[in-house]
């Protein structure tokens, strides 16, 4: 298959590029970076884009079998000033609109579009509610952003393109994302739960993230939203205990919520709040997780 990845230079994007190449697919990467990064393989096709139009790269979509949209400014890269929040929201919507533009112009349209989203769609859920894909969206910043992100490519369905929305949890990967920062205090024997430790942590190993994306590309019955989370979410205190066990470090030094709120402001909700999201629809389609338990996942990543 020929697969176009928008946002293929990010942590998940790079993992997906290598995974798809290993399975014999032709991969085309679209990025705002002016040159192909050295950490991407030479055999991919690379094109620069402006993140808001199909100019200069849209022809890559013509004749492709699938498009994967991972594009968007990082949620936790900077503090959420009003300007940053606008950038987070607009980067996602404009990227989606550019992909719709490219697909609309293609004479041979892709069979499937994988559209990124996140479990932030469900908002803050500091309770024991189990969240499947049927749960309604939240009316907070992350909830509204995810709704707009998902809606940005909805128009391709009228063009006959199967569309899958992936609502990812926290992707565990030592090459990027949250995990390297989470384990750092444990290296200095100062690790522990974040905040109350009661909040749910919807995690997924990067191997399952990319394998689930490939599974959804190849499964013609797949359409609509899918939670990309491990089937066994844990609370923050359970995650800390598992990290400590794997690293042979204590896990009793909690990071107080007020410190995160002081340092990060509204963005602190990413770590202090959570959702007990489960991959109901993914499992119903028959996907088999490589890592369903967090301790096994951490042993693979931290060993």
User: For 217-256, what is each residue's pLDDT tens digit?
Assistant: 999 999 999 999 999 999 999 999 999 999 999 998 888 8
Residue with tokens 């995690």: 203
- Give the C-alpha separation, 290 to 298, whole Å: 12
Please tell me the pTM assigned to this model. 0.95
**Confidence check: pLDDT of 270 > 70:** yes
Residue 83, C-beta contacts closer than 8 angstroms, at least 6 positions apart: none
Residue with tokens 């907070």: 140
Band of pLDDT at residue 16, cut at 50, 70 and 90 = very high
Give residue 261's pLDDT. 78
Q: Are 29 and 13 in contact (CB under 8 A)?
A: yes
CATH architecture of 2-169+205-229+277-289: 3-Layer(aba) Sandwich (3.40)
**Confidence check: pLDDT of 127 > 80:** no
**Confidence check: pLDDT of 165 > 90:** yes
Q: Given its phi and psi angles, is residue 289 left (phi above 0), alpha (psi -120 to 50 degrees) or beta?
A: beta
Give residue 34's pLDDT. 82
Give residue 263's pLDDT. 67
Give residue 111's pLDDT. 98
Band of pLDDT at residue 39, cut at 50, 70 and 90 = confident
Sheet strands side by side (includes 45-48): 45-48, 26-31, 2-6, 66-69, 112-118, 162-168, 224-228
Band of pLDDT at residue 177, cut at 50, 70 and 90 = confident
- Give the C-alpha separation, 42 to 192, whole Å: 41
Q: Which residue has the higher pLDDT, 211 or 257?
A: 211
Token reading at 54:
């199909």
Mean pLDDT of 51-65: 95
Domain boundaries, the chain: 2-169+205-229+277-289
Ranges assigned E (strand) in 55-173: 66-69, 112-118, 130-131, 162-168, 170-172
168: β partners: 118, 228
- Give the C-alpha separation, 177 to 167, whole Å: 16
pLDDT tens per residue across span 128-155: 889 999 999 999 999 999 999 999 999 9
When the pLDDT of each residue in the chain is averaged and rounded to a whole number, the result is 93
Give residue 29's pLDDT. 96
């Amino acid at each position: 298959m020929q697969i176009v990845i928008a946002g293929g230079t990010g942590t998940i994007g790079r993992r997906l590029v290598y995974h798809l190449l290993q399975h014999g697919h032709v991969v085309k990467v679209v990025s705002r970076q002016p040159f192909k990064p050295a950490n991407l393989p030479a055999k991919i096709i690379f094109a620069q884009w402006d993140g808001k139009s199909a100019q200069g790269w849209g022809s890559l979509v013509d004749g492709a079998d699938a498009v994967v949209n991972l594009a968007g400014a990082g949620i936790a890269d900077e503090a959420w000033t009003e300007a940053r929040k606008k950038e987070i929201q607009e980067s996602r919507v404009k990227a989606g609109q550019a992909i719709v533009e490219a697909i609309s112009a293609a004479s041979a349209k892709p069979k499937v579009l994988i559209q990124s989203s996140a479990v932030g769609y469900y908002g803050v859920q500091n309770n024991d509610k189990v969240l499947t894909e049927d749960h309604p969206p939240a009316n907070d910043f992350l909830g509204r952003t995810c709704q707009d992100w998902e809606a940005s490519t909805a128009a391709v369905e009228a063009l006959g393109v199967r569309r899958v929305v992936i609502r990812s949890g926290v992707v565990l990967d030592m090459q990027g994302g949250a995990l390297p920062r989470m384990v750092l205090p444990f290296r200095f024997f100062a690790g522990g739960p974040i905040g109350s430790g009661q909040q749910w942590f919807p995690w997924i190993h990067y191997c399952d993230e990319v394998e689930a994306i490939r599974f959804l590309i190849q499964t013609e019955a797949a359409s609509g939203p899918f939670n990309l989370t491990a089937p066994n979410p844990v609370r923050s205190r359970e995650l800390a205990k598992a990290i400590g066990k794997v690293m042979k470090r204590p896990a009793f030094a909690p990071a107080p919520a007020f410190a995160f709120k002081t340092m990060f402001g509204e963005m602190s909700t990413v770590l202090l709040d959570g959702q007990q999201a489960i991959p109901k629809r993914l499992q119903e389609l028959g996907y088999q997780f490589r890592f369903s338990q967090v301790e096994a996942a951490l042993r693979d990543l931290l060993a």
